[in-house]
Amino acid sequence: MEARDIHTPVMLERCLDLLGPALQHEGALFVDATLGMGGHSEALLERFPHARLIGLDRDLDALRIAGERLSRFGDRVTLVHTVYDGIADAVATTGATKADAILFDLGVSSLQLDEADRGFAYAKDAPLDMRMDQSGGTTAADILATYGEGDLRRIFERYGEEKLAGRYARAIIEARRTEPIERSGRLVDILQDATPAALKAAGHPAKRVFQALRVEVNAELAALERAIPAALGLLPVGGRIVVLSYQSLEDRLVKRELAAASASTAPAGLPVELPEHAPRLKLLVRGAELASDEERAVNPRATPVRLRAAERLREDA
């Protein structure tokens, strides 16, 4: 099946509208920091024929699929195997120093969710891998086998915002004494058994634990904390950034970074705002935008999305 048949880019037209004003000139550079299967990038290259693309992804399968999909654009496309916090180095390797438009479409890609043997989906029994880059690194099974109860509780609380974190951590420690926890089906059973009957109707007990394991395996929040400031540093005046987040931890981090850069740093009581205190960014949307009801009905993966966007107003002092 073609990539475009199994992957529907989230809030595609809105992303193109927001990024478009920065891509009107000859040689404009667009960085897709989370290329995935290339849906957003393909549409952008079609819409803006003068634009060039640098596409980043840590998933080698995604880079291969996107490379095939985007091959018709020839030398307008450069693909780089890296995590998104490597954005500045990736841009520099092409000889560029600035990026006119940058997109982050965070979270798990359709490719990763739909390939059962990657272990991302709690609804499918599979090896507990969860690595976005399968060329190396720690798997979710490794974490479940080696982390102590306190560390498991910490990641479930911090990255999954799970109220039963302690209970689930204890259940995992107890279960692994008899047999390693290597498949998603067994982990789901352990979590189901550890969930009080009164809470089982409040949502699937594995959802937040699987999210927490995925974030830990891929160090997603730590990478994002480095990636957003690095991306903002690449934008020229008039350059634009759009970020699509799918869970509250990501969105809060993005909100904090954009809010700080869009606020004046002038000391209270200063009669005149000096240029070096003026905001560096202008927010392009009020709060976080949601996908439309129509899009969510057609593409359920758009349901949790939160979109934030900003434009560069001035260079750093």
User: Does 151 belong to an annotated binding site?
Assistant: no
Q: Provide the pairing of β-strand 29-32 with 306-312.
A: unpaired
Rounded CA separation 185/165 (Å): 19
The rounded distance, in Å, linking the Cα atoms of 27 and 56 is: 19
Computed on alpha carbons and rounded to an integer, the radius of gyration of the chain in Å comes to: 21
Is 50 annotated in a binding site? The answer is no
84 annotated as belonging to a binding site for a ligand: yes
Q: Is 100 annotated as a binding residue?
A: no
Most distant pair of Cα atoms in the chain: their distance: 70
Of 98, 61, 57, which Cα lies nearest the Cα of 78? 57
Whether 39 has a binding-site annotation, put simply, is yes
Region of residue 248 (left: phi > 0; alpha: psi -120 to 50; beta: else): alpha
What is d(CA 54, CA 70) in angstroms, rounded to the nearest whole number? 11
Asked if 264 and 279 count as a contact pair (C-beta separation under 8 A), the reply is yes
Q: State how far the alpha carbon of 300 is from the alpha carbons of 10, 125, 207, in Å.
A: 10, 21, 16
Q: Which segments are annotated as binding site?
A: 38-40, 57, 84, 105, 112
Q: Annotated binding residues for S-adenosyl-L-methionine, as ranges?
A: 38-40, 57, 84, 105, 112
